Structure 1
């Protein structure tokens, strides 16, 4: 009986040790916020090639501008309109000279439903400095991976919109040299976004 008790205790200790090791590994390898990954020197962001109603758009085409990159889709019921409205309000608080140095890029991850003409009209509704863009599935996936973002196409539904798309809701702030310098949460205020843009402009 005594031997059985020791055996049970030993088994429990081994299981506990495995559990603790597993928790430690899960903590160590957990996904890190984009800003932390940038701070650690991880290479995120960089050049992209997308399609607009005006033709091909590369990030390098916007060299010298502060760029705010945001991804979503036009059928998004709330997150995308809110994020773009915040960006629009932030740009409006800048001086005319500052506004001329800022561009927004709204990437649709739903090219099957979002044509480049639709995106032009949709983005311009929020602010003329916001560019609506999309691309092939390969181009989109390349940009999404490069920026540490994500999206997932949902199942078809009986609703008028057909299906929903889960996606990242961060605002990605890129400086005049095309370097991703920080991100802002979807819940950020227009003042937060404007402050981030001014910081980039003042350093440029």
Structure 2
């Protein structure tokens, strides 16, 4: 079995002391080495199955469209890496954003949201059960936090790792929140080279 490279092994752990209310948007711990695996979720263009993407590197992220800062930061950093790829390299990559807020994020909203960051992103979602199943395969964590007095009603605290899946479908890299774009770019090109 191919080993998974986990950059910066210690990911942020957010704790709340003494009954404090959770912040609107926290990064949850994501430690260990999840197995990953194939899944099918829905996009605005129809079902997206990772098993159909063999031969391509997959950049994978779990988040939601109403995320105030963690998702925009992560997607902006990933976009900086993607902008360094040539047109030919981009043909060998699929970027997938899985919504952990299937109650509110429609496939149309996801399409508009992710394409703002980069045209290579696909926004996908499914039933609450299916999203939870996929998140579990990758060790992604998330939960709702009620927001009193907010028009949004709740936020979703979630882990913020970015995953790289090799062309053979194996999860190979896990990048923690705020990994520099150059590190992601090196990982992408490493997998594209057949490593």
TM-score (norm 1): 0.78
Cα distance in structure 2, aligned partners of 1:200 and 1:177: 10
Question: Within the alignment, does 1:201 sit opposite 2:192 as a pair?
Answer: yes
Any conservation in 2 of the 1:106–1:133 contact (CA below 8 Å)?
yes
Aligned to 1:105: 96
Question: Within the alignment, does 1:73 sit opposite 2:73 as a pair?
Answer: no
Cα distance in structure 1, aligned partners of 2:108 and 2:172: 30
Alpha-carbon distance, 1:32 to partner: 7.6
- 5+ long unaligned stretches in structure 1: 1-30, 39-43
Cα distance in structure 2, aligned partners of 1:89 and 1:77: 19
Larger Rg: 1
Question: Within the alignment, does 1:160 sit opposite 2:128 as a pair?
Answer: no
More relative contact order in 1 or in 2 (CA 8 Å, sep 6+)? 2
Q: How many residue pairs end up in the alignment?
A: 167
Which of 166, 171, 181 lines up with 1:180 in the alignment?
A: 171
Alpha-carbon distance, 1:49 to partner: 1.3
Cα distance in structure 1, aligned partners of 2:148 and 2:169: 39
Any conservation in 2 of the 1:65–1:103 contact (CA below 8 Å)?
yes
Runs of 4+ in structure 1 off by over 4 angstroms are none
Q: Could you list the per-position Cα deviations for residues 80-124 of structure 1 after superposition, in whole angstroms to 9, with x for gaps in the alignment?
A: 011111111101101221111111100001111110000001111
Structure (1 or 2) with the greater strand fraction:
2
Cα distance in structure 2, aligned partners of 1:187 and 1:147: 18
Would the alpha carbon gap of residues 188 and 157 (structure 1) be closer, same or farther in structure 2, given more than 3 Å must change? same
Structure (1 or 2) with the greater helix fraction:
1
Would the alpha carbon gap of residues 64 and 81 (structure 1) be closer, same or farther in structure 2, given more than 3 Å must change? same
Alignment of 1:20-31 (within 5 A): none
- 5+ long unaligned stretches in structure 2: 1-28
Which of 31, 34, 54 lines up with 1:33 in the alignment?
A: 31
Cα distance in structure 1, aligned partners of 2:101 and 2:71: 13
Any conservation in 2 of the 1:92–1:99 contact (CA below 8 Å)?
no
Aligned to 2:10: none
